[in-house]
Structure 1
Amino acid sequence: MAEIKRSYETVAIFNTKDGEEAVAALIEKFKALISENGTIDNEADWGKRKLAYPIEDETEGYYYVINFTSVPEFPAELDRVYKITDGVLRSLIVENEQ
């Protein structure tokens, strides 16, 4: 039976206090994780932006968006990794409408 794949979009806001190298390392980590478990369709680097309200006493965050296709079980694992990774202020994963 063919494996069902779905399209998702994830947005992550990274902490900028450790510098650009730390942010670049986190982006590469998550791109590699997504690539291992699916396919990256599109990505957008929104860069450093002012947050609407402070998160963990930070007023700026680095935004990165990735559209990907994977099996339905993978987004839960991606969310788990987001939550346990230092340097991730917020993340969101949504399924794209077909």
Structure 2
Amino acid sequence: MRNYEITNIIREGAVEETKSAVKDILAKHSITIQNEEDWGSKRLWHPVGQDEQGHFTLIKCQSAASEIVKIEHEFKLNTNILKTLVVRSNG
């Protein structure tokens, strides 16, 4: 198992349901959440589609490397997740 940090930018107006959907996706792929941070709403540097605001979240977790590709794909299918960044961390 490796440590990862997942940063999501979520569309305003659908924050709570999207955060719940993200947790469901992680649970489905047996990813262990170690810590969650809610960074709140911020103005985006560049608009994503028509969205100029986004709600930022950070999840620190442990996962097998093979599962990361699968969750990234599922995040792309969710229209309420504007952007995702997954980074491998040291601990």
TM (norm. structure 1) is: 0.85
**Between 31-40 and 42-51, the greater mean CA deviation after superposition:** 31-40
Q: Sequence identity of aligned pairs in percent?
A: 27
1:34 maps onto 2:26 in alignment: yes
What residue is the counterpart of 1:89 in the other structure? 82
RMSD of Structure 2 on Structure 1 (CA): 1.1
Cα distance between partner residues in 1 of 2:25 and 2:78: 13
What residue is the counterpart of 1:77 in the other structure? 70
Cα distance between partner residues in 2 of 1:34 and 1:58: 25
Runs of 4+ in 1 over 2 A off after TM superposition: none
1:6 maps onto 2:30 in alignment: no
Gaps of 5+ in 2: none
Residues 60-75 of structure 1 mapped to structure 2, 5 A cutoff: 60-75=53-68
Aligned length: 90
Gaps of 5+ in 1: none
Equivalent residue of 1:86, what SS? Answer: coil
Aligned partners of 1:34 and 1:68 also within 8 Å: no
